[in-house]
Amino acid sequence: MDEKQKAEIIRCIESALQEDIGSGDVTTESIVPEDEVMTGKIVAKQAGVIAGLDVVQATFLLLSESVDFAAHVDEGAVVESPHVLASVAGPARVLLSGERVALNLLGRMSGIATLARRFMDEVSGTKAVILDTRKTAPGLRVLDKLAVQRGGAHNHRLGLYDMILIKDNHIDFAGSLEAAVTRARASASGLEIEVEARTMEDVREALRLEVERIMLDNMMLDDMRQAVEICAGRAKLEASGNVRLENVRQIAETGVDFISVGALTHSPHVFDVSMDWVEGEKPG
């Protein structure tokens, strides 16, 4: 993880804390003495892939540097239920005020990682690589994309700035696929170009234009196989649209290089985790 990514993660956490705590945790502050300390354990209540314990640690440390945190599993680890994931100790007010944000982020990230691993397992033995999309939760993209990686899948574009992806609306606006590619190349950005192909003719045109990647948009399996044959390795092929766990293996077996799955980040099941409070223990 580079420094830019770390800074983006901190901004995500700060925003979430401000959203939840606002001007103060009035319940905790009215009930819990300022000098009280607590110890807790974060527990997985389902089986799956863990992602985001370092984010949990950063959440508590942003509230107080006196918090002690110890992770008991690695990022990307597969756990059964129940399983103690981490221990935390520190000022009671801090732990109670930060608990919900910490668990929300951990639950979302682990849910994404678990789903990503399931998709990767489904295509095991093929050359296909599972990709995410930009269908992430607004403001949480850096965490969603990190969770995908920790689940064993790969990121597509991080945003609109790091790859040129010419989709149907761009092509329609430009008047043709060739016109859209010509304009994109004239920008002299030096970025990889991917085009969305809706028909076999689009695939052939994209190959003639020597683009680096072709997205096969909502194509039938037979069309994907034909595209793989036509392409013969001259460009990378990405299958996209209506990809589910039930059909991803069939898509992978057509021979495509990538399969993009919006469901990884737009509809993951939140991973079930809890914070159990204990007495007389320290993390370690």
Write out pLDDT tens, residues 165-174: 999 999 999 9
* Largest interatomic CA distance in the chain: 71
In a domain, 201, yes or no: yes
Q: Report the domain count for the chain.
A: 2
What CATH number is given to the structural domain containing 84? 3.90.1170.20
Tens-digit pLDDT profile for residues 15-43 = 999 999 999 999 999 999 999 999 999 99
Q: Please, what is the average pLDDT of the chain?
A: 96
Same domain for 45 and 114: yes
How high is the pLDDT of residue 1? 79
Tens-digit pLDDT profile for residues 111-155 = 999 999 999 999 999 999 999 999 999 999 999 999 999 999 999
How high is the pLDDT of residue 279? 67
In a domain, 70, yes or no: yes
Tens-digit pLDDT profile for residues 84-109 = 999 999 999 999 999 999 999 999 99
How high is the pLDDT of residue 278? 84
How high is the pLDDT of residue 92? 96
Domain enclosing residue 219, as ranges: 154-260
Same domain for 113 and 22: yes
Q: What percent of the chain is predicted at pLDDT more than 90?
A: 95
Residues classed as catalytic: 100, 135, 167, 196, 217
As a whole number of angstroms, the distance between CA 228 and CA 219 comes to 12
Same domain for 273 and 256: no
In a domain, 149, yes or no: no
Same domain for 69 and 102: yes
pTM: 0.95
How high is the pLDDT of residue 280? 53
Instruction: Tell me the residue type at 182.
Output: T
* pLDDT for 284 beyond 60: no
Same domain for 170 and 239: yes
CA-to-CA separations, 128 to 17, 125, 192, 237, 254, in angstroms, rounded:
39, 9, 19, 10, 9
Q: Where are the beta strands (DSSP E) in the chain?
A: 37-44, 48-49, 68-71, 78-79, 83-91, 129-131, 164-166, 193-197, 213-217, 236-240, 258-260, 273-278
In a domain, 129, yes or no: no
What CATH number is given to the structural domain containing 219? 3.20.20.70
How high is the pLDDT of residue 97? 98
